[in-house]
Amino acid sequence: MKRHNVARTIAIHSVLLLAATGARLIAADELPKAETILDKYVEVTGGKAAYQKIHSEIQTGTLEITAMGIKGKATAWRAEPNKTYTEIELEGIGKMQDGTDGTVAWSLSAMQGPHVKEGAEKSMAMIQSKFQSEVNWRDLYKKVETTGLETVDGKECYKVVMTPSEGKPITQYFDKQSNLMVKMSMTTQSPMGEIDVESFASDYRKEGDILMPHKMRQSAAGQEFTMTVESVQYNPEMPKNRFDLPDEIKALVNKK
């Protein structure tokens, strides 16, 4: 009789364990696929056709180092397929430049001098320079996966892990209700080594037909930065040499 009771108890525990496991599997199956979430983000922010009308852009705004109370002007030029040039003028620090001509990724500042990015640092720079990456994410990542739900600033969000062909994964968090991207985390390579970066996107407003965040709060290396977008121009007139390498960078490339 005792053996029967023990057997029945084990059977009940086994059923409960299977039921619990099944519940977890069902919950995991209910998560939308990462591909669906990424494509829906394009849809809710304007649609693929609206993005494809844009071939270049200029963004202007401000960058603030919160704890230090330092603020300056920031301007970013971008053009397809993967050309960028960013210039930041910070009070008391000077000019910082960063960009790629589509082949060479580089940075230049009064504090650190000229620098040509290589290896993992270059790979991440080329991913970030991809024009219309929202639409063209399939060209950048070999694997995308929805890994769960997480609360960000009070919003329940889908957590999407995107793995590039080279380099470490990038994780984005999409508001379950609006499907807008509200957070991004990654590990970047720099001359000082690996740096964990978290970015929080907010203040979504339309520029033309595209809904985009106008504020990005970023924490990295113990510092917090706030980028505020003030104006956006689509398909503007750009100088032909806008994405040419600075002379200091050319000298480094020629030396190598």
Helix (H) or strand (E) run with residue 157 in it:
strand 155-164
- Structural domain of 60: 32-255
Do 16 and 135 reside in the same domain of the chain? Answer: no
Do 62 and 189 reside in the same domain of the chain? Answer: yes
Number of domains into which the chain is organized: 2
What one-character-per-residue DSSP string does 84-102 give? EEEEEEETTTEEEEEEE-S
Q: For position 211, which CATH number holds?
A: 2.50.20.10
Do 25 and 42 reside in the same domain of the chain? Answer: no
Do 83 and 9 reside in the same domain of the chain? Answer: no
Do 13 and 114 reside in the same domain of the chain? Answer: no
Do 111 and 6 reside in the same domain of the chain? Answer: no
Do 188 and 78 reside in the same domain of the chain? Answer: yes
Rounded CA-CA distance 138/251 in Å is 35
Do 67 and 17 reside in the same domain of the chain? Answer: no
Do 112 and 22 reside in the same domain of the chain? Answer: no
Scanning 163-246, the segments in alpha helix (DSSP H) are: none
Q: What is the mean pLDDT of residues 229-233?
A: 98
pLDDT at position 112: 87
Better-scored residue on pLDDT, 131 or 189 = 131
Cα atoms in the 13 Å half-sphere on the side-chain side of 13: 6
Q: Does residue 138 sit in helix, strand or coil?
A: helix
Better-scored residue on pLDDT, 141 or 24 = 141
Enumerate residues 6+ apart whose C-beta is below 8 A from 208. 50, 54, 232, 234
Do 12 and 58 reside in the same domain of the chain? Answer: no
Cβ atoms of residues 242 and 77 within 8 Å:
yes
Do 5 and 49 reside in the same domain of the chain? Answer: no
- pLDDT bracket for residue 89 (50, 70, 90): very high
Do 168 and 206 reside in the same domain of the chain? Answer: yes
% of the chain surpassing 90 pLDDT: 76
- pLDDT bracket for residue 8 (50, 70, 90): very low
Q: What is the mean pLDDT of residues 170-193?
A: 93
